[in-house]
Amino acid sequence: MFLRCLLVPTGPGLDPERCLDAALHLSRRLHAHINVSFMAPGPQHVLAGMASLVPVDGATITAIEQGVQEAAATGRSAVQAWCERRAVGFMPAAERLDATFVSWGELAGEVEPILTRVGRVNDLVIVDQPDPAQPFTGRALDTALFSVGRPTLMIGAPVTFNPLHHVVIAWNGSLEATRLVGQSITLLREATRVTVIHAKTGTGPDRYEDTLAADLCGYLRWHGIVAEAVTLPAVEGMPAGAALLTEAEKRKASMLALGAYTHSRVREFLLGGVTRHVIENARLPVLMAH
């Protein structure tokens, strides 16, 4: 499977530069293009939330439309400026399909249905780490993980390096982790180094636990990927998510690959969990699939 279409969703007031930088690193290795989709509520969606608060008339609708248009123009100008700084083509009239360039699109509506529709005709969705001050970021990550059906790359800090330099795979044999590996073989094949880590939970003895990481390494070899297998012992008082991030940092990982929400989101919200901890605390790119 080739990864040729990388989607960066953005919206009013957001700075997509971190996601664009990550996308550029990947696209140059994958011969992919970057699709930036600006998503903003249309007048009808804004009015639905304002109807009980302020009188709605033609002037209000015009002001909303103008505000959205101005936000889109500002976003487009910012992306064009980024392209100029990075020497990347912006909306070229004609370009090779395996060339790296940026396309821009503007879509009106709620984030969830728009991102679901657009994400399903791209190969990888690249989103920001959720920021409570920017509701779009949390909605985009949730939609990408639970509705799109494509791998999601979450960016939590500026990417100044090649994310494929050293990929650490968190492997527990779950369905979610299996989907992630299957959908990401192309990315993993491009990685300079791959390490497979299985973090023991300490919930009970399992004579097969120590073979989990080695099993995946054996599978990856059939795809031309040589990976190192590591089993982390359970540490009392340290959640598995914290152990994975600590080990990834210790090994100077450039990306963590993780099957997302092996347990339900409700359970993770109430009791904590690996995915929740990683999403809230990761400072390196995290590749996920549910």
pLDDT digits (tens, 9 = 90+) for 247-278: 999 999 999 999 988 655 554 554 458 899 99
Element (H, E) at 7: strand 5-10
CA distance 104 to 126: 15
Distance CA 216, CA 271 (A): 29
Half-sphere exposure of 58 (CA within 13 A, CB side): 0
What residue segments make up the domains of the chain, in order of their start?
5-155, 166-289
Tell me: domain 166-289, CATH 2.40.110.10, correct?
A: no
pTM of the model: 0.90
Encode pLDDT of 23-55 as tens digits.
999 999 999 999 999 999 876 665 555 555 556
Secondary structure (DSSP) of 121-140: TSSEEEEEPPBTTBHHHHHH
Determine what percent of the chain is predicted with pLDDT higher than 90.
71
pLDDT confidence of residue 267: 47
Structure tokens at 21: 């930088």
The H-or-E segment that residue 289 falls in is strand 286-289
The DSSP bridge pattern shows strands 33-40 and 5-10 to be parallel
CA 1 to chain centre: 18
Are 5-155 and 166-289 equal in CATH topology?
yes
d(CA 18, CA 199): 29
**What is the mean pLDDT, run by run of 10 residues, along the chain of 290 residues?**
90 96 96 96 62 60 80 96 97 83 95 97 97 96 95 95 96 93 95 94 58 93 96 83 94 96 57 82 96
Contact 229, 257 (CB under 8 A): no
- Domain boundaries 5-155, corresponding CATH code: 3.40.50.620
The predicted pLDDT at position 195 comes to 98
Which residues face 155 on adjacent strands? 128
Structure tokens at 123: 């190969």
Residue 191 and residue 173: Cα distance in Å, rounded?
Answer: 21
For residue 107, the cross-strand partners are: 39
